[in-house]
């Protein structure tokens, strides 16, 4: 695995591109327009400069400039034609992802190329069946911030070939140095199926006036040794993403604990998305 593509140059896409390039891979990143590419490159460069300043780039990785030289940002999906692996990291919207997978399937020239989604909740089967290569489609779910967090969820569908999963495991563990866990193709996979109901419960507690955002978060940080409280974590994830994952979980399981609280829905409608917008449960 030497040639990797990433679709989407947002927070997750930039992180996936960074860890792939730091592993010495040739990376092409596609986003819809030049402005999105410029924002993504700025985000990526800032991350690499911080890592370089802290001495976290190894000799094998090279300098920040060396890593950046391995990444080619473009606006056309055709640039992905020769990729051996493409990771989709666009907005958490099922229709958008389905359309993209249908297009990528026709774009890639290598019939053994792997098509992966970084989705945090959408069933992989729904993405695989719109392609002519469902045996080469799976979920490779990274966690934010990608350069820091070691976990990756591998999510094969019922049609994914075992060889595809093992090739992906080798990419994640041997090339990127991360730890993979295996998940069934169910909405939320392992981490979000546990995490999202927890965050939603904290939002309901805050919404009811039971406790302030600060006290809820401090309670979990100081009383349960969490590195970050659930409301601050929701702001980091993005309230729009939190809502999208909750809706996907509720659609699949119809359990009340997965239903997005009204406050979360209103905040997303208002554009209060957390860190990415400058305001969520806290102001940034």
> With contact defined as beta carbons under 8 Å apart, do 152 and 180 qualify?
yes
The domains found in the chain, sorted by start residue, are: 3-182 (3.40.50.720), 192-277 (1.10.1040.10)
Structure tokens at 276: 């990415």
Q: What is the number of other CB atoms lying within 10 angstroms of the CB of residue 203?
A: 24
Q: Is 226 a catalytic residue?
A: no
Q: Which residues are annotated as a binding site for NAD(+)?
A: 8-13, 31, 92, 97, 120, 144, 276
Give me the mean pLDDT over the 134-158 stretch.
Answer: 96
Handedness of CA 118, 124, 127, 132 (dihedral sign): positive
At residue 62, the pLDDT reads: 94
Candidates 20, 117, 192, 248; catalytic one? 192
Cα–Cα distance between 229 and 209 in angstroms, integer?
Answer: 17
Give me the mean pLDDT over the 212-236 stretch.
Answer: 97
Candidates 20, 117, 118, 120; catalytic one? 120
Candidates 153, 157, 168, 247; catalytic one? 153
Q: Is 247 a catalytic residue?
A: no
At residue 147, the pLDDT reads: 94
pLDDT confidence band for 60 (50 / 70 / 90): very high
Cα–Cα distance between 6 and 30 in angstroms, integer?
Answer: 6
Residue 271 reports pLDDT greater than 90: yes
Cis peptide before 145 (omega within 30 of 0): yes
pLDDT confidence band for 144 (50 / 70 / 90): confident
| Closest by CA position to 234, among listed 269, 284, 280 | 280
At residue 64, the pLDDT reads: 95
pLDDT confidence band for 197 (50 / 70 / 90): very high
Q: Which residues are annotated as a binding site?
A: 8-13, 31, 47, 54, 92, 97, 120, 144, 276
Give me the mean pLDDT over the 219-229 stretch.
Answer: 97
Give 160's DSSP letter: -
Convert the pLDDT of each residue in 72-100 to its tens digit: 999 999 999 999 999 999 988 899 999 99
Structure tokens at 259: 């239903």
Candidates 141, 157, 168, 248; catalytic one? 141
Give me the mean pLDDT over the 37-41 stretch.
Answer: 93
Q: Is 277 a catalytic residue?
A: no
pLDDT confidence band for 191 (50 / 70 / 90): very high
Mean confidence (pLDDT) of the chain: 96
Q: Is 192 a catalytic residue?
A: yes
Q: What's the predicted TM-score (pTM) here?
A: 0.89
Residues 6+ apart with CB under 8 A from 10: 36, 40, 89, 90
């Amino acid at each position: 695995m030497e040639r990797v593509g990433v679709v989407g140059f947002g927070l997750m896409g930039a992180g996936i591109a960074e860890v792939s390039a730091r592993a010495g891979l040739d990376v092409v990143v596609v986003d819809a327009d030049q402005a999105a590419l410029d924002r993504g490159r700025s985000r990526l460069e800032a991350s690499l400069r911080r890592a370089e300043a802290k001495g976290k780039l190894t000799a094998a990785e090279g300098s920040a400039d060396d890593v950046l030289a391995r990444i080619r940002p473009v606006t056309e999906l055709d640039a992905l034609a020769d990729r051996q692996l493409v990771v989709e990291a666009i907005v958490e919207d099922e229709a958008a992802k389905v359309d993209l997978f249908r297009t990528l399937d026709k774009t890639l020239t290598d019939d053994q190329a792997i098509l992966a989604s970084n989705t945090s909740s959408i069933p992989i089967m729904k993405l695989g069946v719109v392609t002519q290569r469902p045996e080469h489609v799976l979920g490779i779910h990274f966690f934010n911030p990608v350069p820091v967090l070691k976990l990756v969820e591998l999510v094969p569908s019922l049609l994914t070939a075992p060889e595809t999963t093992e090739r992906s495991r080798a990419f994640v563990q041997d090339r990127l140095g991360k730890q993979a866990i295996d998940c069934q193709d169910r909405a939320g996979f392992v981490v979000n199926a546990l995490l999202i109901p927890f965050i939603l419960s904290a939002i309901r507690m805050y919404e009811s006036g039971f406790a302030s955002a600060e006290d809820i978060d401090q309670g979990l940080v100081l009383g349960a040794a969490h590195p970050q409280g659930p409301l601050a974590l929701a702001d980091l994830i993005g309230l729009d993403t939190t809502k999208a994952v909750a809706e996907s979980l509720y659609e699949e399981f119809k359990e009340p604990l997965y239903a997005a609280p009204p406050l979360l829905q209103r905040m997303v409608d208002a554009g209060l998305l957390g860190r990415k917008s400058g305001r969520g449960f806290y102001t940034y």
